Structure 1
């Protein structure tokens, strides 16, 4: 039998060489995947910002047509005096909202997306939180030029913080990519729904809320801490002055 001699340099990879190649490839992939993941999240935030702007216009439109802002849609597990949870339709009990009224005279639940004709979810397929002052959602007693909202927007969750906006009639929040994970910054926890059953079971973070901060939300810049999301919530709110100006122009207010 004739044996073929291998030519010099035709040997295969050694285990060490293969390990080096795999290491280099992993570095290259890691360098590519990180910017890709960042660009995907940025696009998701842009998409969510567009949805939020549509929601804002829909809320103004609802007020112009009906003379009041819609009630929240109850969510499953939330106390609801009347209505069907999670159907996207505002839930009312007479002329009042079905969800429990907070000490700050706000109703909070899911966004009534079907009532408004807007998307149900943000770019991460999560529902929006919607909070509205009771005076502006009462369909029997129209709000007046002197009425003010009871929602305040802060720049951080700390004592004596600056108020970005105050006396707000309504606010809509997307809780971002991390949504309702238990371990979050105090700024994000402040924006949780005021419902102890948000995880399906009682959660100590959420049950710690008191009536004093039930009308406060935090709006600040996107930030990371130790490579993890520290704040990524997004929101829009209804300006009381823009709302009243539009209502006057539409003949809904004197």
Structure 2
């Protein structure tokens, strides 16, 4: 029988059965690699975002040293709202004022974004001194921190380990649930994570975006992937003392 081009190809190269086996092996290998690659990429996103949050903390400290106050959160633009500080229009539900801080990682509208391209949230204490001498919005008013003095300062943002703990509310963590020392912290910065664009369904994620001064942070779960950091008041005060901005 005379060989045809097809029989010559199958004789000299792979048979159809062999080709099918090779393709099956490649499919299995790719199937095993894809989850690993996905996990690696997700870890990279998390690490890059944590680095951004740390850089924002340092930028906030630098701003406080120069201006004697913390900036208000941004809302409709990349600038703090209002410009110049004082009474912040969105103290608990705003975003990082990238333009005010001179940050570079921004979206097309000038907002600071995480490695998923989602705007990074920023909350600042609106604590006011209510005993004589009175002083409103101490931490966001020019020279308010130095005027009131370290011993009288009482920032009141709270970070809790769970939103379903007994006693948790929009004004407190409840018993044995606080991650921050009493009375609280001046700043909370957080990324809403991979699902931030669509919003998380978990109660702990919802607690971070409900517009009050109480936030939640814990290790990732299927319902929680927010990355939350806060600025210790002691670190802020020490850096301002070292810079000669506080006695």
- The 8 Å contact of residues 161 and 218 in structure 2, kept in 1 or not, is answered as yes
Alignment equivalent of 1:159, drawn from 165, 169, 176: 165
Structure 1 residue 190 corresponds to structure 2 residue 215: no
Q: Deviations over 1:128-153 (max 9, x none)?
A: 10000123112264453121111111
Partner of 1:113: 98
* Equivalences, count: 211
Distance 1:183 1:175, change over 3 A: closer
1:226-237 equivalences under 5 Å are: 230-237=223-230
Deviation at 1:96, TM superposition (A): 2.5
1:58-207 equivalences under 5 Å are: 58-74=59-75, 85-86=76-77, 88-92=78-82, 95-100=85-90, 106-118=91-103, 119=105, 120-134=112-126, 135-139=138-142, 141-142=144-145, 143-145=148-150, 146-160=152-166, 162-166=177-181, 167-192=184-209, 194=211
Partner of 2:218: 220
- Distance across 1 between alignment mates of 2:210 and 2:20: 50
Structure 1 window deviating more from structure 2 (32-41 vs 156-165): it is 156-165
Deviation at 1:52, TM superposition (A): 1.1
- Distance across 1 between alignment mates of 2:62 and 2:48: 21
Structure 1 residue 247 corresponds to structure 2 residue 246: no
- The 8 Å contact of residues 74 and 95 in structure 2, kept in 1 or not, is answered as yes
Structure 1 residue 30 corresponds to structure 2 residue 31: yes
Partner of 2:52: 51
Partner of 1:79: none
Distance 1:64 1:183, change over 3 A: closer
Distance 1:24 1:235, change over 3 A: same
Deviation at 1:155, TM superposition (A): 1.0
TM-score normalised according to structure 2 size: 0.75
TM-score normalised according to structure 1 size: 0.73
CA RMSD, 1 decimal: 2.7
Q: Which has the larger helix fraction?
A: 2
Unaligned runs of 5+ in 2: 106-111, 127-137, 167-175
- Distance across 1 between alignment mates of 2:164 and 2:53: 26
Unaligned runs of 5+ in 1: 75-84, 101-105, 195-213
